[in-house]
Amino acid sequence: MEVEDKQKCFELLQLVIDGQATQQQTLELEQHLSDCENCRAEFELSQSIKEGLKSRLKRPSVPSELATSIQSKVLEIV
Amino acid sequence: MSAGESMSYESKDKQRVFNKEFMPHIDAMYNFAYRLTLDEDDAKDLVQETYLKAFRFIKSFEEGTNAKAWLFRILKNSFINNYRKTSKQPNKVDYQEVESYYNSESVDEKITTDLRVETVQHMIGDEITNALNSLDIDFRTVIILCDLEGFTYEEMAKILDIPIGTVRSRLHRARNLLKEKLVNYATSMGYKDKRK
Ligand SMILES: [Zn+2]
């Protein structure tokens, strides 16, 4: 693949994965993925990593007193 | 001190906006702060400092605009001012390298073939967390903002004070680095690529 095409692939993949592609761009990528195995693998892998980050990363629980502490400090400024 | 009559209308209004627009984001704010500092106490201090700043500068916030992005920007700037100087980050981001990523093909090709979707799906939260935490702060930040918090490139550009093109190139580079880390984890955990 030419460097220029590759660049376009990266850009499209990223836009689609991040949900920021236009309909036209999504279509363009779908067409390309149907006959480019490399990009298809890249696309699926990137998607699964993004999914893993979203669903399997533990979110730390906010210390219970933080909100009240902030609100009482704000009242002091007022 | 109670919210009594001595309070002017203006401060009541400020508090209303503060509670309605800012406080609901405390979970996301703490999460962001924790992922930046990797320390519970530092995260707490950072969130508190950010909220107090937000209250002081509340007049520059336009009601109805994106409060979360506005708060994240303050938090990010506070973090840079307070922690970055003292934190021990061994490798600084080479922006030259970041900007020219489109021209470097070698890295991208290799990673894909070394890591399988199934392997990623079998990884548990700890492995992904460790991989993310081991990234340089600038790369970690774009992944947090995009993948964990769902900001758009445009919002990220505002939070980070960088052009959208830089957001996208940094994100691309960050993801490749993360893949590299995941490959290393997969290898050390004994995951095998069946296609080989
Ligand atoms: Zn392709």
Amino acid A58: pLDDT? 82
CB contacts of B18 in chain A (<8 Å) are 74
First-to-final CA distance of chain A: 62
Q: Are B78 and B108 within one domain?
A: no
Kindly state the tokens that stand for B169. 């190139």
Please give the residue that has the higher pLDDT: either B153 or B187. Answer: B153
> Does B51 map to a domain?
yes
On the CB side of B145, how many CA atoms lie within 13 Å of its CA? Answer: 29
> Does B169 map to a domain?
yes
Q: State yes or no: pLDDT of B23 exceeds 80.
A: yes
Amino acid B102: pLDDT? 45
Q: State yes or no: pLDDT of B93 exceeds 70.
A: no
Amino acid B192: pLDDT? 59
Q: State yes or no: pLDDT of B97 exceeds 60.
A: no
Q: Give the chain B residue nearest A46 (alpha carbons).
A: B175
Q: What is the tally of structural domains in chain B?
A: 2
State the SS3 of B119-179.
Answer: HHHHCCHHHHHHHHHCCCHHHHHHHHHHHHCCCCHHHHHHHHCCCHHHHHHHHHHHHHHHH
Closest CA to A70 of B7, B53, B3, B79: B53
Say whether residue A48 is in contact with chain B using an 8 A CB cutoff.
yes
Q: Are B10 and B66 within one domain?
A: yes
Q: Are B107 and B184 within one domain?
A: yes
CA distance B54 to A68: 16
Q: State yes or no: pLDDT of B19 exceeds 90.
A: yes
Q: What is the residue whose two structure tokens read 């984001």?
A: B25
Q: Are B131 and B165 within one domain?
A: yes
**Residue B81 Cα to ligand 1 middle (Å):** 42
A3/B23 Cβ within 8 A:
no
Question: pTM of the prediction?
Answer: 0.84
Q: Are B178 and B124 within one domain?
A: yes
Closest CA to A42 of B132, B26, B117, B156: B117
> Does B193 map to a domain?
no
Q: For position B125, which CATH number holds?
A: 1.10.10.10
Closest CA to B32 of B108, B123, B142, B131: B142
CA distance A3 to B124: 35
Contacts of B36 (CB under 8 A, 6+ apart): B43, B46, B76, B79, B83, B137, B140, B141, B144
Q: For position B61, which CATH number holds?
A: 1.10.1740.10
B172/A3 Cβ within 8 A:
no
Give the end of a domain, one of B87, B103, B131: B87
> Does B66 map to a domain?
yes
**Residue A9 Cα to ligand 1 middle (Å):** 6
Please give the residue that has the higher pLDDT: either B115 or A14. Answer: A14
Give the end of a domain, one of B36, B57, B87: B87
DSSP string, chain A: --HHHHHHHHHHHHHHHTT---HHHHHHHHHHHHT-HHHHHHHHHHHHHHHHHHHHSPPPPPPTTHHHHHHHHHHHH-
Q: Are B62 and B110 within one domain?
A: no
Interface probe for B, chosen from A62, A69, A73, A76 (most Cβ of B below 10 Å), is: A62
Q: Are B66 and B29 within one domain?
A: yes
Q: State yes or no: pLDDT of B164 exceeds 60.
A: yes
Q: Are B68 and B147 within one domain?
A: no
A75/B128 Cβ within 8 A:
no
**Residue B194 Cα to ligand 1 middle (Å):** 22
Amino acid B86: pLDDT? 59
Q: Are B49 and B109 within one domain?
A: no
List, for residues A22-66, the tens digit of each pLDDT value: 999 999 999 999 988 889 999 999 999 999 999 888 888 999 999
Quote the domain boundaries for residue B80: 3-87
CA distance B177 to B88: 19
Q: Are B127 and B183 within one domain?
A: yes
Q: What single DSSP character describes residue A65? A: T
Say whether residue A5 is in contact with chain B using an 8 A CB cutoff.
no
On the CB side of B144, how many CA atoms lie within 13 Å of its CA? Answer: 29
Instruction: Give whole-number Cα distances, B11 to A73, B24, B193, in Å.
Output: 14, 19, 61
Give the end of a domain, one of B29, B64, B87: B87
Say whether residue A54 is in contact with chain B using an 8 A CB cutoff.
yes
Q: What is the ipTM of this complex?
A: 0.90
Map out the domains of chain A as residue ranges. 3-77
Taking residue B3's Cβ as centre, other Cβ atoms within 10 Å add up to 11
